[in-house]
Amino acid sequence: MKAIAFHELGGPEVLRYEDVPLPTIKSDEVLIRVHAVSINPGPDTFSRTHGFGDPSFALPHVSGSDPAGEVVAAGDAVQTVTVGDRVVVYPVMRCGTCEFCARGLPANYCRNFRMFGVHTWGGRAEYATVRDDLLVKLPDQVSYEAAATLPVSYITTWHGMVDRAAVTPQDTMLVVGAGGGCGVAALQIARHLGVPTIALTGSTDKIDRLYALGAEHVLSYRDPDWAAKVRSLTTNGASVAFDNCGEATWTSTLAALDRGGRMFCSGATTGDRLAVDVRTLYREQITLHFYVQGTRANLEQLVGLVARAEIVPPIDHRLPMSEVREAEHLLASHQQVGKIILVPDEIYNKGPVAIEKARA
């Protein structure tokens, strides 16, 4: 089969769309024919450049944490899905033995959790093997490509907004890095929940598209006074903020919060060293929510919302897997609004219309 593999760490140039052995399944695994997988800065690009911060995998490696596809074979012990089912992968794998697993907490709380596509070979391939407990079935109304946008960006954002920061329509939410995968998800989830939002972006080309996604105001982080402008657009500041940028925006994001404000964060795309005045935090009664990924229940909820067209994930680019280097360069340019999707060449060359007719 064909897969996107890298044999050494480095830039996009180390990626190859090449022949690799067809994987074999264990008794609790299924083989899925991948129809779509999205690109994510952490599991994909950071793994390629840094090995995800630890050895974590052997080389060569195939990334891809959020594939969607069709079950074509199932192990003897598989009971949750059958051949022919349309599925998407929930990428967080629990250990099942740590104290957090013993308490029944979701997999993203597991002390020893592993990521599909990081600690295992993933879905940047024509076929992938997946444990059956990681699969969520897809209704016919949800395309493979829409499904592939959900397991990293959307569930991470939903978990922070709904489960951790408990955002409500009474809030005004600041979304930092609003044009990225999680930022777009935040705007769409906020619109679904009836939460007014202020979007922060560095690209003037994204302004109209962010308004279309539901932002009430759009500001530029290139304006050194953007935090003061957030405060001027609200009574005394945003009541909640979502900031996955980290080092470059952290101080200003805190300054844009009202007293009693909350901030939730699950990333650090601009750097992970933060300076903070603790007195400001306690005097202003700021609550910080740090977390990783989302839960399987979050993914199931989002699949339902997409099926009912209550959320329609925007896809900025759809490219064949053989053009993965171009796709990675597009991601690095920060010009996209929404997700970049990769499709195996054989499926891509049939075209989306032919695929939908074949499915029907």
> What CATH number should be reported for the domain holding residue 28?
3.90.180.10
Does one domain contain both 38 and 123?
yes
Does one domain contain both 56 and 185?
no
Cβ proximity of 263 and 288 under 8 Å = yes
Residue 278 belongs to a domain with what CATH number? 3.40.50.720
Residue with tokens 């980290």: 246
If one counts the domains in the chain, the total is 2
- Rounded CA separation 209/205 (Å): 8
Does one domain contain both 137 and 15?
yes
Does one domain contain both 218 and 130?
no
pLDDT at 351 over 80: no
Does one domain contain both 172 and 51?
no
Amino acid letter for position 5? A
| Per-residue pLDDT, 205 | 83
Instruction: Give the pLDDT band (50/70/90) at residue 272.
Output: confident
pLDDT at 25 over 70: yes
User: Which domain-ending residue is among 290, 322, 340?
Assistant: 290
pLDDT at 70 over 80: yes
Does one domain contain both 24 and 131?
yes
Q: Domain residues for 109?
A: 2-149+313-359
Does one domain contain both 171 and 268?
yes
> 359: how many CB neighbours lie within 10 A of its CB?
12
- The mean pLDDT of 326-355, rounded to a whole number, is 84
Question: Is 302 part of a structural domain of the chain?
Answer: no
Poorest-pLDDT segment among 157-166, 191-200, 351-360: 351-360
Q: What are φ and ψ of residue 244, in 5° steps?
A: -100, 10
Cβ proximity of 200 and 220 under 8 Å = yes
Question: Is 306 part of a structural domain of the chain?
Answer: no
| Per-residue pLDDT, 54 | 57
Measured CA distances, 90 to 223, 279, 287, 331 (Å): 38, 40, 29, 22
Question: Is 308 part of a structural domain of the chain?
Answer: no
Question: Is 295 part of a structural domain of the chain?
Answer: no
| Per-residue pLDDT, 336 | 83
- Is 256 exposed, middle or buried (CB count within 10 Å of its CB: 0-12, 13-18, 19+)? buried
Residues 6+ apart with CB under 8 A from 58: none
Question: Is 304 part of a structural domain of the chain?
Answer: no
pLDDT at 358 over 60: no
Does one domain contain both 30 and 87?
yes
Cβ proximity of 316 and 291 under 8 Å = no
Q: Residue 70: enclosing H or E segment and its boundaries?
A: strand 68-74
- Is 56 exposed, middle or buried (CB count within 10 Å of its CB: 0-12, 13-18, 19+)? middle
- Rounded CA separation 217/196 (Å): 9
Does one domain contain both 53 and 104?
yes
- The mean pLDDT of 93-121, rounded to a whole number, is 95
Instruction: Give the pLDDT band (50/70/90) at residue 53.
Output: low
Does one domain contain both 103 and 136?
yes
Does one domain contain both 126 and 16?
yes
Question: Is 299 part of a structural domain of the chain?
Answer: no
Does one domain contain both 166 and 140?
no
User: What percentage of the chain exceeds 90 in pLDDT?
Assistant: 81
| Per-residue pLDDT, 357 | 38
Does 92 or 51 have the greater pLDDT score?
Answer: 92
Question: Is 121 part of a structural domain of the chain?
Answer: yes
- Rounded CA separation 330/342 (Å): 12
Question: Is 9 part of a structural domain of the chain?
Answer: yes
- The mean pLDDT of 142-151, rounded to a whole number, is 97
